[in-house]
Amino acid sequence: MTPLLEARNVSKRFGPVVALKNVSMRVYAGEVHCLLGDNGAGKSTLIKIFSGVFPPDEGTLLVDGAPVRFQSPKDAMDRGIATVYQDLAMIPLMSIVRNFFLGREPTTGWGPFRRFDLKKAEKIAAEELEKIGIHVRDVHQAVGTLSGGERQSVAIARAVHFGARVLILDEPTSALGVKEAAVVLRYIVEAKSRGVGVVFITHNVHHAWAVGDVFTLLNRGEQVGTFRREETTREEVLQMMAGGEALERLEVELAEFARQERRTR
């Protein structure tokens, strides 16, 4: 099977800083590909290359097996690659239906009488919300009335509705509570079952393990490895993450700190 989206040996430098070094990654339809790593590991740089924010310095980007060079995020969107950013997902004061269709409003009428087809928009938005299990009384209520998890889910539903084949989710669960995160994770699984290829960026290994099929680990711009779920365990993934190392170190330090506390008391 040809991957929907592939990065082949991509590198990216910002001045003297090497942000990504020789990283390869394949995203297949119907698969959740988790991109893991600590802050500064290069996750954001890689997804910005995927979503057309900037091109790689070296290496190739391929869509459906053919090399591409995106000039802008819109290029990537036109090829079915949609990115949902944690902080840019939705506009709180706007209604759900207006948010859902912002920038891609359905219209009716012609010429100067072309207008926003709100009836159609309301119908579609209500259907899409129903599909992801979010029940609202009125799609005209402000997005601000939704919970953080619901907002992320609606943003994802919007991307899928507008034909995303590859969905890049930038830390969609990091600002959410446990229940909220579960809402988003459930919807990630649903998007996957519809045949969407999902790139899921997180530094929460529990969230990754709950939905991931493949795990790619980055550390300081380098690829630690790519593992299929059946080849590894959660503990192993946790260990390999820079976050895992840091956690171990932190535990040692905390233990040392506690000992000293006891002694001084």
For residues 262 and 246, the answer to whether their CB atoms sit within 8 Å is no
CA angle 154, 167, 28 (to 5 degrees): 145
If the CB atoms of residues 9 and 72 are measured against other proteins, the closer one turns out to be 72
Judged by CB under 8 A, which stretch of 27-35, 133-141, 223-231, 253-261 contacts other proteins? 133-141
Residue of the chain from 102, 246, 250, 252 that contacts other proteins (CB under 8 A): 102
Site for other proteins contains 161 (CB under 8 A): no
For 99, phi and psi rounded to 5 degrees? -60, -45
Of the candidates 257, 221, 217, 253, the one whose C-alpha atom is nearest the C-alpha of residue 238 is: 217
Contacting range for other proteins; rule: CB under 8 A; set: 19-27, 104-112, 187-195, 254-262: 104-112
144 lines the binding site for other proteins (CB under 8 A):
yes
Q: Which two tokens stand for residue 49?
A: 């290359």
**Residue 101 binding other proteins, by CB under 8 A:** yes
Q: Cα separations (Å) of 13 from 19, 48, 55, 57, 69?
A: 5, 13, 11, 7, 17
* 178 in contact with other proteins (CB under 8 A): no
Number of residues that bind other proteins (CB under 8 A): 31
Alpha-carbon span 70 to 66, nearest angstrom: 13
When asked if residue 126 is in the footprint of other proteins (CB under 8 A), the reply is no
Query: Using CB under 8 A as the criterion, which residues of the chain lie in contact with other proteins when the complex forms?
Result: 73-74, 77, 85, 88-94, 98, 101-105, 107, 114-116, 118, 135-138, 140-142, 144-145
